[in-house]
Structure 1
Amino acid sequence: MPSLLVFCVLFLLPELAFSITRHYTFNIKSHNVTRLCNTKSIISVNGKFPGPRIVAREGDQVLVKVVNYVPNNITIHWHGIRQLKSGWSDGPAYITQCPIQTGQTYTYNFTITGQRGTLFWHAHISWLRATLYGPIIIFPKLNETYPFEKPYKEVPIIFGEWWNVDPEAVIKQALQTGGGPNVSDAYTMNGLPGPLYNCSSKDTFTLKVRPGKIYMLRLINAALNDELFFGIANHTITVVETDAVYVKPFITDIAVITPGQTTTVLLKTKPSIPNATFFMMASPYFTGLGTFDNSTVAGILKYEKSKNKLPLLKPTLPAVNSTSFVANFTKRFRSLANAKFPANVPQIVNKKFFFTVGLGTSPCPNNTTCQGPNGTKFAASINNVSFAMPAKAMLQSYFFGQSNGVYTSNFPANPPFAFNYTGPPPNNTMVSNGTKAVVLPFNASVEVILQDTSILGAESHPLHLHGFNFFVVGEGFGNFDPNNDPAKFNLADPIERNTVGVPSGGWVAFRFLADNPGVWFMHCHFDVHTSWGLRMAWIVLDGPEPNQKLPPPPSDLPKC
């Protein structure tokens, strides 16, 4: 009888039958790594760089025990995981938690709901994610298949950025002087810079393939400050998923991927062994006025049993400032929007926001010399508010009704004054400062317009929203036109994602349903812009039902 009862329960609750709990331990330690003939101590997880993979199926519970053995404060963010009612495990320092201090432990606990594909994890405090990052691979539920041809093999390719010096010293110096930070010395592919850099031919990622097979490449941009073009010589790729959302497949020679984005592609190898080997290369897309790392990371695609000393072919990547290529590529993304994978786009919105995003300045402190524009300090803002990090975690303060002195709930829904956002910049480029949030009622239907500005140079900004996916319903160049542009919005099959590139000198519109109670960070995924204040927080209130409320914090939540 008991076994029959168990069978009946499992039959009625099939989710439980196939979901498991997966346990991981992340020991945060320092170890020496040599790149570009330069050896330095880096902070890593379990002595691995890049860090270990988190592998799960849709519906699984994931527990990651993080133990901090280094002097730095640590938090880990599970980038793109919805964190439904598990905001305590989201990870951004001082937003959802106080950091894990030296010698402390915290267990992140979340369930993967309605997501499958490629995401990644990374540190979310200062610039520590330069070396603290790794893939999250979410397989479909058991007995479910991909909505495309099953690959012969799956390969994560995670792009990073390498400094010969300590990245923490780089951003510390920049924030002190008010100037732009020193750029990285190399990009990396699975932690390796590749043969186009000095002293790095042995540090090259090589992908060995067989002819006539389909390889799934899970592309992840974990670089700190650079969008990247990626291509493979003499091969095309088929885009099938982005940010753990399936897309209508499309073929391309080149992919564009911003920091914080993931793009899963299928590579169909040639039917027979070719008389060549092939570079896989990534180089930056950049339109701003500052300096950037204008170098190229390369890996090698090599066919098994091919001859040695074959010609090595290079892909042709777009020019560094190819904004039109980026726009055309971005517009090709569409949700599957079918019965099994619907695009639940909010058709009617009841909360509208118009956010300018871009750079600005803040005054130089008395009796100091600053290296920003005209002797000021560089800053960045949303609606001219440069977000000041609180000293206590916002989520705790909100949950216990102790927001006084931590944050205010008056983040502006519109810029303080209108101007020609993408035209000649205004004379006054000073930003205001504050720890301000937007409060949303549960299940609010939200539309956000992100408008780039030309202040200190128009450039693309990859904006990432924690706790939600959103639908990118429109984008364009110049200033958003509220009278004419909404009529062109795609409300049928827009792409759903967690990070979107605001076009350089343009705008993007997205919609989401505020169905996840908690405090949720939104910020530029260029770490330099985040450090300068291009960040804000949304507070989503509890709903009326028990399953629409944020549970209390776990007992091991770190204290400030």
Structure 2
Amino acid sequence: MVKVVGLFVLYALLFYSANGKTHHHTFVVKSSSYTRLCTTKHILTVNGRFPGPTLRAQKGDRMIIKVYNKGEHNITLHWHGVKQPRNPWSDGPAYITQCPIQPGKKYTYRIHFTTEEGTMWWHAHLGWTRATVHGAIIIYPKRGSLYPFPHPHGEVLIILGEWWKKDVMEIERNATIAGGGPLISDAYMINGQPGDLYPCSKPGTFKVTVEHGKRYLLRIVNAVMNDKLFFAIAKHKMKLVGTDGCYTKPLETNYIMITPGQSMDVLLEANRHPSLYYMAASSYFTIVDTEFDNTITTAILQYNGLYHRSPSPLMPHLPAHNQTQAATRFTKKLRSLASKDHPARVPLKVDTKLFITLSINLVNCSSKPCEGPYGKRFSASLNNISFITPSIDVLRAYYYGLDGVFDKDFPSKPPNAFNYTGNNLPQNLLTPDFRTKVTVLKYNARVELILQGTNVFEGDNHPFHLHGYSFYVVGWGFGNFNPRRDPLRFNLIDPPEQTTVGVPRNGWVAIRFRADNPGVWMMHCHIEDHQEWGMKSVFVVKDGANPQTQILPPPHDLPEC
């Protein structure tokens, strides 16, 4: 059982810098033995922990994290939602901003927290290694500052994850060879525990004890590989106050829908009759006629005190797996705080417009039939370009001017216009072009990006993550984006500020940001299958005119390929 800890309990602060304190951490990546669902297996961990260590700092602080790879697989680490100003060298996606840390090698990440405040997370960024290599990042307000909401009496970290009885790296390899979808997980998890609805799990169910009449801040991360999740607590309302390290206007809700990659901060009032209550999560799944993990993971919220008898925990009402209406009711209410201390700096005018389609594709197999639909292999694309990962990282090639690694002509709109969300689309739309193409942006460009879902083969809700930036979600809708009508309804006053946004199934999302962070920054679907199949791309943001607006030089210990 875990008791809620008081706020502002930070780990050791080793020394000061000009912009806050600097924290030093050591991460050792290694294989560790864990038992879940009656099965014991070795998984890749950091410091022997699953989930991994929680990093805590305050706004404006820095971190220096030395990573030693003592495992059997290549590894990189990404600090999800951290802008890393001018320092893409520490961003982490393999073969985009660095070569992997090979077994027996090490690399030091240098992290600077600037505008971020709230809950974020870190995770491996090389294939399925992130299934077990991940943990939370908590950024408290700057010294002398307060939360822009009622002060909580304590906090609870909730990391939503998954468990497979088989080796996840083997699952990835087999799916790549066969060309079909990977095995679905055997269980969802809360803080590394499936919950007592699964076999062999009751002794390990995560429990948290609260005091009646007190307020708690729940810090929730979706570290699941491929599924969006509904999350709720029996008989309790929640009040959303932050997403992806950015504050929101308080939003009272019975449940949240959180996509892979997203993090959310919610307030919980412990105001119910003292008893036991389940907090639970289940999938939000939008693809029809496809197998998915339809189980429910639980943890127990327990009020402190003596009970005359041991009651069974009450189960919350979770929306049905295909309830797009429920997901939409929640997400459409999100608004940024847009206050004096936390303003919404939405670009009101734009000079760079991009329109990108998101598609699941099918391609022919070279010899025997694959295990995808119609005997084909799954692929995925943006503007019909399926990204080919290069053999050396894009950042190194860009910084040193190496030819032949990537092309700078990623299309700013689809090469062929069609009814993106129509039914029975032409067969030729299923085959993408395989290339390594990037989009080059001028420094300080004001960018509007339309992400348009398509029904090529099968539509899905795609959680899209942009590295190096937060962005404002100024609009969204179902069907095809209408460039004449839809911009008239954009919210340019208080749109939610996020780093990961769910693009609705057969719908679209409009985001805006200012390209004021020079470097090489990845953009991709955070459903791991889709990213591995090629649903990703890269923004190269040029240097500004003075040294303070230019990429920092590479570190001396940058891994070699």
Query: Under TM normalisation by the shorter chain, which class is it?
Result: over 0.9
Match of 1:413 in 2: 412
* 2:345 alignment partner AA: N
Maintained 8 Å contact 1:117/1:243: yes
* 2:44 alignment partner AA: I
Maintained 8 Å contact 1:236/1:267: yes
1:141-169 residue CA offsets vs partner (Å, 9 max, x unmatched): 11100001111111110000111111111
* 1:406 alignment partner AA: V
Maintained 8 Å contact 1:381/1:535: yes
Unaligned runs of 5+ in 1: 1-14
* 2:256 alignment partner AA: A
Match of 2:10 in 1: none
1:420-467 residue CA offsets vs partner (Å, 9 max, x unmatched): 111112222111111110000100110110111112222100000000
CA distance in 2, matches of 1:48, 1:259: 21
- How far has the Cα of 1:17 moved from its partner? 6.5
* 1:484 alignment partner AA: R
1:106-131 residue CA offsets vs partner (Å, 9 max, x unmatched): 00002100111000000000110000
Match of 2:162 in 1: 161
Maintained 8 Å contact 1:118/1:263: yes
Question: Is 1:375 the counterpart of 2:375 in the alignment?
Answer: yes
1:189-244 residue CA offsets vs partner (Å, 9 max, x unmatched): 00000011122111211111110000100000000001000000000000001000
CA distance in 2, matches of 1:347, 1:110: 30
Maintained 8 Å contact 1:18/1:141: no
Matches within 5 A, 1:510-521: 510-521=511-522
Match of 1:278 in 2: 277
Match of 1:393 in 2: 393
CA distance in 1, matches of 2:386, 2:314: 46
- How far has the Cα of 1:18 moved from its partner? 7.0
CA distance in 1, matches of 2:136, 2:93: 18
CA distance in 1, matches of 2:24, 2:84: 17
* 2:281 alignment partner AA: A
Maintained 8 Å contact 1:451/1:480: yes
Secondary structure at the aligned position of 1:324 is classed as: helix
- How far has the Cα of 1:369 moved from its partner? 2.2
Match of 2:291 in 1: 291
Secondary structure at the aligned position of 1:202 is classed as: helix
Secondary structure at the aligned position of 1:127 is classed as: helix
Secondary structure at the aligned position of 2:172 is classed as: helix
Question: Is 1:504 the counterpart of 2:505 in the alignment?
Answer: yes
Secondary structure at the aligned position of 1:175 is classed as: helix
Secondary structure at the aligned position of 2:302 is classed as: strand
Maintained 8 Å contact 1:230/1:317: yes
* 2:258 alignment partner AA: I
Matches within 5 A, 1:88-237: 88-237=89-238
Maintained 8 Å contact 1:18/1:142: no
Identity %: 50
* 1:485 alignment partner AA: D
CA distance in 2, matches of 1:134, 1:551: 27
Secondary structure at the aligned position of 2:330 is classed as: helix
Match of 1:309 in 2: 310
Maintained 8 Å contact 1:226/1:526: yes
CA distance in 2, matches of 1:328, 1:395: 40
Maintained 8 Å contact 1:464/1:522: yes
- How far has the Cα of 1:311 moved from its partner? 3.4
Question: Is 1:45 the counterpart of 2:46 in the alignment?
Answer: yes
* 2:395 alignment partner AA: L
Secondary structure at the aligned position of 1:339 is classed as: coil
Match of 1:10 in 2: none
Maintained 8 Å contact 1:239/1:250: yes
CA distance in 2, matches of 1:114, 1:526: 26
Match of 1:4 in 2: none
CA distance in 2, matches of 1:517, 1:306: 58
* 2:140 alignment partner AA: F
CA distance in 1, matches of 2:167, 2:388: 24
CA distance in 1, matches of 2:187, 2:83: 32
CA distance in 2, matches of 1:294, 1:459: 17
Aligned Cα root-mean-square deviation (Å): 1.1
Unaligned runs of 5+ in 2: 1-15
Matches within 5 A, 1:435-454: 435-454=436-455
TM-score (norm 1): 0.95
